[in-house]
Amino acid sequence: MKKIIVSAPGKLMLLGEHAVVYNKPCLVTAVDQRLRLTIEVLNIQEFQLDAPDVDTVNYKKQIVGIGKGNIPKGAKFVEFAIKNFLDRTPLTPFIRGIKITTKSEFSSRFGFGSSSASVVCVIKAMSELFNLNLSPKEIFDLSYKTVLDVQGAGSGFDVAAAVYGGTNYFIKGGKTIEPLTINQLPLIVGYSGVKADTVTLMSEVKEKANKYPKIIEGIYSSIEELVEFAKVKLLANDLRSFGELMNINQGYLNALGVSNNKLADMIYASRIAGAYGAKLSGAGGGDCIIAIAPEEKRISVEKAIQQAGGEVIKVKTNAKGVKIE
């Protein structure tokens, strides 16, 4: 019985969230907390899934029914990934059945991109299983299609982080995926304790854009300029300027209405404690904030986040992309 183990990293958005959905660039980094997926070939025509992190255990289905019928929330991303892979490669050897088990080092509540990481792991594992050697871009394209099939919207930056790892300059749909060579990215991550609903937040911002199109488009264009400038500063290892640009980006996110009191408390506490910059990371409404600070201020910034009611999440940035374990 063939067994393959694959892992992919989580992600943190550095700059450019929300604007990235409207074809503006963003900066995203992969974090060292990983999702691991084991795939085994079965002797029965059945798909089995154990994904305890998303409350899906002992899920079973006939292979011919993949992607059809009522699919529980915890199984959707994995099941659609398999369906899309099999649809793309109908000439693959006949498959009797497969069992997939996932285990995440990070909680799905953090907004680290666990769904995208699981999809990327499935595509990579299936590629290995059938000896197809799909390229990173092919894995990205198939994974991004899967994410769109399940949630209907998204830019794909979390998929790119899971596939390529490192820190990337990214434009929606993978139009541009540019790996950045950087010396250091000493991020401090604080979790708000609130799970954000990305799709709802995106819809709220879209409503605002429909009401005030010129104003919101102006904000997106300003974020685009900011990201371009920040990319140069990051490559030059000018972390102080990068932090200042994080602060400006947070101002734009406030204007879009996606920040809240809890996030603001953590962000301002970080800055007062000596961070060069701090902002929310991701859709907003909850999830995480990120701060960048000189090493001698790290402990005071971490304490400030905790005193503001946040939970410090220890992660390293610039992690490796999807890989066979």
Per-residue pLDDT tens digits for 235-281: 999 999 999 999 999 999 999 999 999 999 999 999 999 999 999 99
Closest CA to 33 of 313, 323, 283: 313
**CATH fold group of domain 187-313:** Alpha-Beta Plaits (3.30.70)
Confidence class for position 176, pLDDT limits 50, 70, 90: very high
Instruction: Output the CA–CA distances (angstroms, integers) from residue 15 to 26, 142, 292, in the order listed.
Output: 6, 25, 12
pTM of the entire predicted model: 0.93
165 phi/psi in degrees, rounded to 5: 65, -170
Cα separation of the two ends of the chain: 17
Q: Where in the chain is the domain with CATH 3.30.230.10?
A: 3-182+319-324
pLDDT digits (tens, 9 = 90+) for 131-149: 889 999 999 999 999 999 9
Q: Where in the chain is the domain with CATH 3.30.70.890?
A: 187-313
Q: Compute the Cα dihedral for 228, 234, 237, 240 and give only its sign.
A: positive
Question: Is 3.40.50.970 the CATH number for 3-182+319-324?
Answer: no
SS3 for 193?
coil
pLDDT digits (tens, 9 = 90+) for 8-61: 999 999 999 999 999 999 999 999 999 999 999 888 888 999 998 888 889 999
- Residue 164, both tokens: 């390529």
Mean pLDDT rounded to a whole number for the chain: 92
* Cβ 164 vs Cβ 139: under 8 Å: no
The residues assigned a catalytic role are 158
For position 45, what pLDDT does the model report? 86
Q: Measured between alpha carbons, how far is 250 from 256 in angstroms, rounded to an integer?
A: 10
Those residues with Cβ within 8 angstroms of residue 252's Cβ, 6 or more apart along the chain or in another chain: 219, 222, 223, 226
